[in-house]
Amino acid sequence: MKKILLAPSILSANFSILGKEIKNVLDAGADIIHFDVMDNHYVPNLTFGPMVLESIRKFNISCPIDVHIMAKPVDTLIPLFAKAGATFITIHPESTYHLNRTLDLIKDYGCKVGIALNPTSSIDVLDYIIEKLDLILVMSVDPGYPKQKFIFNVVKKISKIKKKIRLSKREIYVSVDGGVKMCHIYSLLKAGTDIFVMGSYIFRNSNYQFVIKKIREKINSFYIKK
């Protein structure tokens, strides 16, 4: 059974004790931290900057961090987040005029390269950049808006993306982000999801170890039934 990764989104964490919140979810069994950057321009919300990421690293958080940048223009932010401690930098194709150059910039700064696709975005862009990618983030809600419901049509999109990855013969993670709950896990696993980004579903529970254990049990039961 392959390792399915859990990536709590700290957008739902308690910001007043952010370092402690991150340590607690990692101790409870999370694998990656999902760090949402919003600029109130590309998306209608305003969140974290590179100084917050740097402070997290200084708090001895050494796990992989996926910095999902929902900002335009994006190129000037990439060096800042890379130097602050990003592992992955994931951007939206619409956030740059020259996508290949921007993806190369991420790699040049020593980070793994991610591309994020909105619910209605075409996957055709992957045909031209897939050889540069380490991660494809599939948005299952429109980015930037809180309290949205999971858009189920993205399950078909994930299946199509996995076919493209298999044809490319590259190892690329497929991550899903937005409104993901326990009832969606089987469908997403069947489609080929490797990473589950879950924010409020984890952080709204006082017992992170309990909720992450339940998510793991749900994932494991899928493979047992297969």
Strands 65-70 and 195-198: unpaired
CA dihedral sign, ordered 88, 93, 95, 97? positive
d(CA 79, CA 81): 6
Structure tokens at 14: 């308690």
Structure tokens at 224: 């047992």
- Indicate the length of the chain as a whole number: 226
- The one catalytic residue in 66, 134, 177, 194 is 177
Q: What 8-state DSSP symbol labels residue 85?
A: T
d(CA 129, CA 98): 12
- The one catalytic residue in 36, 39, 66, 194 is 36
Strands 5-8 and 33-38: unpaired
Based on the residue annotation, tell me whether 177 is a catalytic residue of this protein. yes
**Active-site annotation, residues:** 36, 177
